[in-house]
Amino acid sequence: MTLVLAGIAAFVAAVIQRITGLGFVLVLVGPIVLLYGPVEGVTIAVLLALVASLTAIPLVWRHVDWRRAWWLIWPGILAAPLGALVVKLLPDAALFLLIAAMAYFALVAGRIRALSASLTGRTGAVVAGAAGGFMNVASGLSGPPLAAYAVGDRWPQRSFAASAQVIFVAYDLVAVALRGLPTAPTNDVGLLVIATIAGIAIGTVLVRNVSPRIARIAMLVLAWAGATVVLVRGILALFA
């Protein structure tokens, strides 16, 4: 049952990722962490996010802004080890709360105008990139600071969504190297990878027929629900 639920979550997250360009881990992290725990769950989420971005890159390659992507990639790589250190030092209950907090931040970051306004130019890229790299290793959620930078720097949405796939691949490769591979059975992980690829494929078919607005609403509903459940799980773990 755990594998079935995780597969459904990965599939749905991949469909939304393909339609909106973002949101894979934001949708996936709630259920995957609840099913596998805060350490193994994020490790699986990062690996599947890598698969999702690698699958999507050939579809958006021509829209990638390599210069902007680079200025977000290298600070993230440098900050990533700090995220790995935090994961090693914190107990499970604290990790649940940290993941929930980062998920909530991911959901509201785009509405914080002061944040976006401060993230412009090369300095803004370095700050956003470092925050994204740290968050990616700690929780798998690297999108919020990148999206805030995109808004502040007036990065066209199509180019940003395409470039984000390249950035995510760089972050996820580093995160996999730092966190290691999942300890779940290889067959289970393989099935989750297949579910992710299938979701990208179905999302490619649906992208012309499903409004990004509808997909975004679905993403937000699922993400808010997942973050809230993880928060409750973390609070309960504190008193266990």
Q: Would you state the pLDDT for residue 60?
A: 84
Q: Which single residue is written with the structure tokens 């890159």?
A: 57
The token pair at 101 is: 């907090």
User: 51-86: per-residue pLDDT in tens?
Assistant: 999 988 888 889 999 999 999 999 999 999 999 999
The residue-averaged pLDDT of 162-189 equals 93
- Please give the Cα distance from 42 to 187 (Å, whole number): 18
Q: Which residues contact 15 (CB under 8 A, 6 or more apart)?
A: 199, 200, 202, 203, 206, 215
Q: Find the range with the poorest average confidence among 1-5, 59-63, 109-113.
A: 109-113
Q: Would you state the pLDDT for residue 81?
A: 95
Q: How confident is the model at residue 167 (pLDDT cuts 50, 70, 90)?
A: very high
The share of the chain scoring above pLDDT 70, in percent, equals: 94
The helix or strand, by DSSP H or E, that contains position 113, with its residue range, turns out to be helix 113-118
The token pair at 196 is: 């992710």
Q: Would you state the pLDDT for residue 127?
A: 87
- Please give the Cα distance from 211 to 78 (Å, whole number): 37
Q: Would you state the pLDDT for residue 115?
A: 65
19-49 in b/e burial notation, b at 16+ Cβ within 10 A? bbbbbbbbbbbbbbbbbbbbbbbbbbbbbbb
Greater confidence (153 vs 42) lies with: 42
Q: Which single residue is written with the structure tokens 């509903």?
A: 221
The token pair at 126 is: 């370095």
214-226 in b/e burial notation, b at 16+ Cβ within 10 A? ebeebbeebbeeb
Within 10 angstroms of residue 230's Cβ, the number of other Cβ atoms is 29
Q: Would you state the pLDDT for residue 186?
A: 92
User: 17-59: per-residue pLDDT in tens?
Assistant: 888 777 788 888 888 988 998 889 999 999 999 999 998 888 8
The token pair at 18 is: 């393909």
Q: How far is CA 142 from CA 76, 120, 130, 168, 212, in A?
A: 9, 18, 10, 8, 21
- Domain positions in the chain are 2-238
